[in-house]
Structures are given as C-alpha cells and as structure tokens.
Structure 1
Amino acid sequence: YGSGGDFKGFDPVDSGDVESADQVCRVYEGLLEYDYLTRPYRVIPRLAAALPEVSPDGLTYTFKLRQGVRFQDDPCFPGGRGREVTAEDFVYSFRRLLDPKLESQGDWIFINHVLGAKEWVQRGDHNAPLPGFAARDRYTLEIRLAKPYPQLLWVLTMPYAFVVPREAVEFYGANFRNHPVGTGPFRLKSWRRNYRIEYERNPTFNGQRYPSEGEPEDRAAGLLADAGKPLPLLDRLVDYDIQEYYTMWQMFLGGQLYSSGINKDYFEKVITPELGLSDALKKKGIRLYKVPNLVTNYIGFNMRDPVVGPNKKLRQAFATALDVDKYIAVITNGRYSPANTPIPPGIPGHTDRPYPYQYNLSRAKQLLAEAGYPGGRDAQGRPLRLTMIMPGAGSTDARQLADFWAEQLRAIGIELVVQQLTFAEYLRREHDGETQLFIAGWVIDYPDAENFLKLFYGPNKCPGVNATNYQNPEFDRLYEQIATMPDSPERTALYERMAQITLDDCVWALIGYPLAYGLYQPWFQNYKPHAFPYANWKFYKVLPH
C-alpha cells in the first residue's frame, strides 16, 4: 500500500512530475531500465533483448527487441486480447512524444538530438517521415542521431520513452490518459480521483525475474532472498491520495500504509536527539532509512514576467531575504542542507563555493532599493506585491510553508501572495508559463548534471522544462557544447561554469538539498533506497501480517 497525490493521468508523454512518473511506471515499460541492486547506477535491457549495438561514430543505436512481449489485454484490441510489441510501436511512441500538438515537456530527450527531429516538429505533420527512428524489421529498432548524445541510454529509462499501442491512443482519444494499456507488471483496476488508485498483477507480464546479483551487503540485508523469482512479487497495489499528514500517520501506525515520511510536528516524537528511531517504533519492527536525495529545491522566477524578469536586483533582493537556515531548522527539523548551486552534492559539477545570496536582511533591503523599490514601494509609492504558486491545496503543511516564506519577504517590504493549487493545476500553470514565481524541486532523472542544466537552456522554455523561460546566449552556447561531450574533467569544469552563470543571473532563489527520512513497516520487504525508484514496485513484497 502506498500514498500518492493527485496527478494528471497515465500518459507517458505527460509524466514529467514525480507522481505521474511513479504511476506510469506501474503499467508501462521502455527499452531499458536501471539495475535495481547495483551501484553505481547502470542501465540494463528491459524490452530490449540486449544493450544496443552502437556505430563507430556514435550516431546509430540498433536495438533488438525481446520477442513475445504483449500489451495487456484491453478492449482497444480486436477480441480484447493484447498483441505483441514490435519495433513500429516504439517508432510510433517516440514520434508521438515529439508531436507538438501534445506539448510534452519530455520532448527534450529527442528533439535536439535525433536526426531530423527538430525539422519534423517544425513541420507539424505527424505523418511525415522522421529519419531518426526506423523499424528495420519486426524486432529491430534503429535510432539515428544528428550528433553524439552521451545521455541517450539514461533517457531511454525514463517514462517519456515508454511504449504505447496506437490502438489504445486512437480508441480512447482524449480519454487515453485515463486508460493505460502497457506491458508493465501491473494493470489499472480502478481509479477514484483524489482518493484511491488500485492496481492488480498483469497476467500477461512477460518473463522478468528478481535479480540474482547485487552489492556485497545486499545478501546480508535479505535483498537477495527472492533471487530468481518471477516478478512482480505483489498481487495488488493501492495508492491513496492523502493530503493531511495526521491521517497518513494514523494509517501508517495502523498498518494500512507500507511507509511514511515524518512531518515536522512529529519529528521529535519519532526521532531521538541522536537522530535515531524512537524505542516505541523500534519495538514495532519499523525501520528508518535516511537517504540524501539528488534533489534541489528552489523558488523560480519567470523571466517573461514584466516585474521580476528584467530586474535582476529584485531577484537578488528576494533571494537574499530568505533565511534558509531558519527554514531548515523550523520547517524541516534539520533535514536539509543549504543549497549553494543548482547541482546537488554527489553529482560532478557541484562545488563548495559559497552561495552568493546568503541571508542578509540589510543587504536585501539595499538590493531592493537599487531595484527601484525602496522599502518595498515603487516610484509612485505603490507597494510591491509578488505572487508565487505552490502545490498543496488544502494542506496545512503547505499553508505553514507559504506563511513562512511570506513572512520572510515581509521583512524587507515585499508582499508575497502565495497561491496553493492542486498538484495538477500547479503543473499546468508551470507548463504553460502562467507564473510570476513558483516554488519547486527538481528530482534528477539520471546521474548527470546536464539533467539540471537543461532547465536553463533557452530552447527548452515553456512549454518545455525551462519553466523560468531563462535565456542567456553564453549559457546556451556552452550547453550545446557539453551536450555532445563524454564524461571528462573538461565537461565537469564546464558544468561548474554554467551553474555559476545561473547564479550570477539569479534565475532561482536556492533553498536546499533534502535528506529524506522514511519509515517502513517490517512486513514491507526488498526495499533498497534508489535515486530513480519509479519502476521498482515489481521488486517489493509484503509478508503476511
């Protein structure tokens, strides 16, 4: 049993947020996935029969597909029986991701890399040929690149690149996002929006077994006890949409949820001063995991906004007015470290240079005056009012967070209006660029700093992943340079330089890097912390309890 939030639906092309990616991965699959137990992270074949053959120039990747893999049974197919997946299905799915009518935020994985992709999108004809994707035969898929793309195998693990059947898209039309038809370990049984999603084992799931190898400590941790067993290990999976932490906590204590985070108001009841688990929970067999997340939390400025976009001094004043240390102590119980660069620790490109906008109230007031708003008022004496959006409609925790940031800005004379939105509406506003400021966190998609830096690349602006609509010619030139470079000290140095450019321009007001505290029931087994966990539900199991 899990707990989830409201989300947009099950369409892989619209899976850019954590919640949607998590749900999509229950039902759909792609060519590749992460090896669950191995560290450092590596990709292994999933619907591909093997890793691809790569041409000497690095521009052509040839995948052989596993034979006998079927889409789940569904009324969209003749007779209701799912058919075999072929190379043409991947060509269709990849072209669909690039279809400008769908405005997918995931088109970045192909559009600037695959041969002919950008021109195909500009033509706007979904039926026109796209030379970069080709089915050479029923089970052979070829991807041709316009230039080397070191991250290609990583991005093919992402839900954006998952395969969908044309029949389902055409049969369900605009309602396709509510009727997932995939090859994955589970299939959707029922969905009551804003309440409950239930999955059941997919009876046609094809031929995957629990891994037989891992890290040296995995066997002692019991993570290899199910080696070789058919997947998935669960028959049924239920996600609840729970907005209030008290409800989640009571369900967790009652054994209805497999896991729970720890709300700030409960932290001292659950965690000892030595940052261990309380004796009361230990006696119940509950386990505590403390895991650094490859995440950067921040407040983004929309550069298209006529107030904050052209006024760097205003953005700097805003950032300098945020008492991040107080936020970490009061709101997160010390479960963050202050962010100093968009790239989190543990990823090449992160540095230990001091953050240029550390909390300094007098400096923030000075910058605000230099921005044309002395004391928080413009030349006509009108008060400066800024609007920030955040998810969490109806959530007490979100309201407390909104009040905290509003209080911080009030200290320098800025009135910050915070709009709490449903998660789906928040994502729509961010996607469409209907923001002035937005609070956000970027969860890394693959272990490469390029995944953070693409959020600042000009051509990725809304409706793409560059939600700030930032554009800097020097940054864009460097991004295009590193996009084809293999991992090297030279590339890492450019990553550091690019991150510094975004800091100089104050595109984000940085907040912190989270340390996740998670509680897990004793009956929930085979859990190993993973930076990219979305497809891992098939490995978990539940003991009788």
Structure 2
Amino acid sequence: MRKITLTTFIILAVIMSMFVTGVMAQEQGGTLVFGRGGDTVGLDPIQVTDGESFKVTQQIYDTLVDYTPGTTEVEPALATDWEVSEDGLTWTFHLREGVEFHDGNPFNAEAVKWNFDRWRLEDHPYHIGGEFTYYSYMFQGFPGIIQEVNVVDEYTVEFVLSEKQAPFLNNLAMVPFGIASPEAVKKYGEDYFKNPVGTGAFVLEEWRQGDRVILKANENYWRERAYLDEIVFRSIPDNSARFMELQSGSIDMMDGVSPEDVEAIEESDTLKLSLRPSMNVGYFAMNFKFEPFDDVRVRRAFNHAIDKQAIIDAFYAGLAEPAKNPMPPSIWGYNDEIEPYEYNPEKAKELLAEAGYEDGFEFDLWYLPVPRPYIPQGKFIGQAIQSYLSEIGVTANLVTYDWSTYLDKTDHQEAPTYMLGWTGDNGDPDNFLYVLLDKDNSNNAYESDELHEVLVEAQKTMDQDKRVELYMEAQEIIHQDAPWVPLVHSTPPIALKSMVENYIPNPTGTEKLHRVWLSE
C-alpha cells in the first residue's frame, strides 16, 4: 500500500477544498425565472385547487409528510415518524423540533391542530376566505372523517378518524395541506391568501397579480438552505410567446410547451427537455343539469363523435395517449378490460336520433383559457371538438373566461359542457375517481348512488387487492354512464435552459425547487 505523506495529504486537501468550493459556487445563488401559462389564484393552499397556485405554495409551505422526488412514495417532512393503531382509526405523528414559521413563530403540535381545526370545522373563526375544497374532497366533507385532532405533547399530535381511510397518509402529503402560521392567518384574515406564511424553503417577496410572483430563499429553513436565492414565477399565457422568451434568455424554464416546439428544443444546444411522468387526464365534461345532457344516449354519442387520436397527433406531438377511463394507466387499479367508445360518427348520429335529436341541437362548449399539462392548447382543441360535433349535426358555441372565473363557474355547475383535466395528487385511484366523480364532490352534477357506494367502500378497505376490485367496478359504472368524454393522458414536456440543474419533475404536476441550481 502506498504511503501518503503529510505534504501529499495537504495538497489533496487543498485540491478537494477547491473542488467543493467550485461545486458550491455553481450550486448556490442566482434567480430562476419560471414561465407559466397563468397567474396564481391564491397563496393559501387550502383555498385553491389549481396547479398554478400549487406551483408557488409548494415552495412556501411544508406538509406533515412529503413525496420522494419524482414519485408518490411518502417520506417524512414536518413529521419525522408516525404510527397507526391496529383498528386503523388513530394516527400519531411525531413532529420535527426546532422548526419556525417565516414570521418567527414556532411550529409545534398546537400549530398542526390549529390548521386542521381551521380546515375541518365550519364554525372555526378562521374557516373563512374560501371553500376549503380539497379538505372536503379528501376527507369527506366537514368535519369529515377526522373527528379529533389532539395535542399529546409539544411535538406529538394525534388524529382520530371516524372510519378507516386507506389513502390517509398519501392524502396528508398533498400540497393543499401545507401548514400555515396560525398567527399569520389571524393577522391577515380573509387577506391571508395574499400574505402566506409557512415553514418552506422560500418566502413571499412580492406578488404582482397578473404578472409575477417573486420568492426569496428562507435563510432559516429547517432543511439545508435552498441553492437558489430567488424564484420568479412569470405569467405568460401564450405558449409561443413563452417559448420565444425562453429562447431569448429572459426566462429559464417553462411548462405548457407547444407540440411544434418540442423538436426545436431537442435539437437546441442551449435548451433541454424534461418529461413529467404521466399521471393525469384531460376531459370534456357534460353537465346532467342541462338538457339534453341528462340523456345517456347523447353523452355516449359525443364519446363516439370525437377522434381522440387525431387530437393527440395535432396538439400533443405524440406525447399523450387516448383516454378511455377517468384515471391513467399509470395508477394501480386501472381497468384495461374496458372497451373504449370507438370514433364512429355514424354511431353517434344513431344515438342522437334515438334520443330525439336527429336534427341536432345547439349548446355552449367552454374551453380552457390557459394551457394546462393535459390540455396544452385549449382553444384549438375546443375548435377541433366543435368541428367533430358539427359532423353529427350539433352546433357548439365556444365560450371561455379568465382562469379564476372559469374555475369558479365550472365548480358551481354553471357550464353545460366544459373542458378540464386533473393531475393526480397522491398516486391513489381515490384521488381521481372519488374526487372527480363521486356525487358528494362532482362539479358536473353527475350523481350515482351505485358509484358512491363502491368508492366509499374502497376508501374504508385496507386490503389492496379488494380495493383494486372495487376501482375496476367503479370504472365500469362510469364508462356506462359516460359523464365525460375522457380525452387524453399526456406526458407533459417542460423546457429548460441547459444551465438549470437537478430539476426532477414529479408526476403530481408540481414539485419543490429548493434543490435546483444554475450552473455556469
């Protein structure tokens, strides 16, 4: 074995020090400018449902548990470990010590209880400012299945459920359940959505509504400080304009890439392409409260009338597959035995005639005003659907609104038909089927008692094989009732400058950026 002298050791140490310093110089500092298709709706994650808001709030807040980067596997976050009782009804979480909110107040069990009580109790004095939609979705209303939240000691909190919930832990990792500073919520009240205070890697610096959100690194983050000094989320609604800004260097990365730009990115010396793992669905929904969409024959006719593959070829650069179910094949429990509605305009006409609409009818078709991962070009795809329906004698009038208004109106069932989509939050079928189509949650007036019974039983069942059987059955019911035309499951492309390092896209549609850095 060769002997290392003291002089040699010193030389090696100096070289190693220079190497480490060089690496850290590349990793630490700088501003990342993220170009996106729409503005944030709000910065209180429990009050919003849109991905543009979650892109930002995920940087400001932490949840009790998190997802391992690039997956939906649960790992510790503000809770270091946990256990569940034998009956599955009591969950005990041991919290991370020494964590502070951005305003300097301590994170502890009291803060966790206060947040969950605020969300679940409608008579809580700070259950204000929004509808707390995600809490209702995931925990079955208010107070829902979380019957008690108890402080065991300063860093131990206990959740008592009224019934078992198989995806409970995965649900807690979802972005909407970021823990806020109770004192900040009390201070700002209904304006808290503009003044967020969490424990996350970044702190809000400024929100110029309609333009940009500026975040700065949290110097007291409980993890290692973020590599970036700042993140700027810029709102640039037009895909082509956003891509031009990426090419010119005024932004560093973008989502909502137009299909025609994918090849240019792949051939560029200064840009690179990252593909988000597919866990989404884009769909065209029909509201049962509006005639003639209360007739299943009309809904099935629309399913036969739209050529999904042609839409994918035209608007997705091949980075999508036709959808036949409301959840993607990447989710366990997917029912691949279902036969899709084939593209068959003549069959669609026959169904319309059976329903008494052989001469067609006229209706409003709402299309997405901003690019989304599952529907990157809402207006063009809306025009394509309009054209397909005209071939079966149906006239669709295209309608849209600004993004916030669009979400509000569709959520309140004001649209006869509309385009929307969903990116899975936690990798569980419940997050698609129950959230989107159960009668207690549905925003398209689809109410099926049969489906509801199946989905609720699946939530209470801890046996994975039994849950698979139930979700297979649920997809059969949905397919027969045809409340949607499921359009696509996309693999969304993200374009980045070559200097953007260590970006790991998550299948949930948003990810923390505290480990991204800019190389020289």
Name the TM tier (shorter chain): 0.7 to 0.9
Q: 1:186 offset after TM fit, Å?
A: 0.6
The answer to whether the 8 Å contact 2:219/2:225 transfers is no
The answer to whether the 8 Å contact 1:341/1:503 transfers is yes
SS at match of 1:483: helix
SS at match of 2:468: helix
> Residue 45 of structure 1 aligns to which amino acid in structure 2?
P
Report which structure shows greater RCO (CA 8 Å, sep ≥6). Answer: 2
Q: Normalising by structure 1, what TM-score?
A: 0.82
Cα shift readout 1:385-437 (whole Å, capped 9, x = no counterpart): 22122331699943322222211111111111221222111111122222211
> Residue 443 of structure 1 aligns to which amino acid in structure 2?
T
What does 1:130-279 correspond to in 2, within 5 Å? Answer: 131-206=147-222, 208=223, 230-261=224-255, 262-267=257-262, 269-270=263-264, 277-278=266-267
Instruction: Could you tell me which runs of 5 or more consecutive residues in structure 2 were left unpaired when the two chains were aligned.
Output: 1-32, 123-127
The answer to whether the 8 Å contact 1:449/1:495 transfers is yes
The answer to whether the 8 Å contact 1:188/1:200 transfers is yes
CA distance in 2, matches of 1:468, 1:176: 30
Match of 1:3 in 2: 35
The answer to whether the 8 Å contact 2:216/2:230 transfers is yes
CA distance in 1, matches of 2:137, 2:283: 23
CA distance in 2, matches of 1:473, 1:328: 34
**Quick one: which of 354, 360, 367 aligns to 1:390?**
367
CA distance in 1, matches of 2:35, 2:120: 32
Q: 1:334 offset after TM fit, Å?
A: 2.1
> Residue 397 of structure 2 aligns to which amino acid in structure 1?
V
The answer to whether the 8 Å contact 1:196/1:239 transfers is yes
Cα shift readout 1:228-270 (whole Å, capped 9, x = no counterpart): xx23111100011001122211211122322245313434x52
Q: 1:138 offset after TM fit, Å?
A: 2.1
**Quick one: which of 117, 123, 126 aligns to 2:143?**
117
Alpha carbons of structure 1 residues 161 and 291: separation in structure 2 relative to 1, 3 Å: closer
The answer to whether the 8 Å contact 2:328/2:489 transfers is yes
The answer to whether the 8 Å contact 2:120/2:135 transfers is yes
What does 1:57-96 correspond to in 2, within 5 Å? Answer: 57-73=87-103, 82-96=104-118
What does 1:322-361 correspond to in 2, within 5 Å? Answer: 322-353=306-337, 355-361=339-345
The answer to whether the 8 Å contact 1:134/1:142 transfers is yes
**Quick one: which of 466, 470, 481 aligns to 2:446?**
470
What does 1:391-540 correspond to in 2, within 5 Å? Answer: 391-392=368-369, 397-455=377-435, 458-461=438-441, 466-532=442-508, 534-540=510-516
The answer to whether the 8 Å contact 2:45/2:177 transfers is yes
Alpha carbons of structure 1 residues 106 and 360: separation in structure 2 relative to 1, 3 Å: same
Identity of aligned residues (%): 26
CA distance in 2, matches of 1:16, 1:202: 25
> Residue 451 of structure 2 aligns to which amino acid in structure 1?
F
Match of 2:136 in 1: 108
Match of 1:77 in 2: none
Q: 1:494 offset after TM fit, Å?
A: 1.6
Q: 1:47 and 2:78 equivalent?
A: yes
The answer to whether the 8 Å contact 2:451/2:477 transfers is yes
How many residues in Structure 1 have an aligned counterpart in Structure 2? Answer: 477
SS at match of 1:132: strand
Q: 1:177 offset after TM fit, Å?
A: 0.6
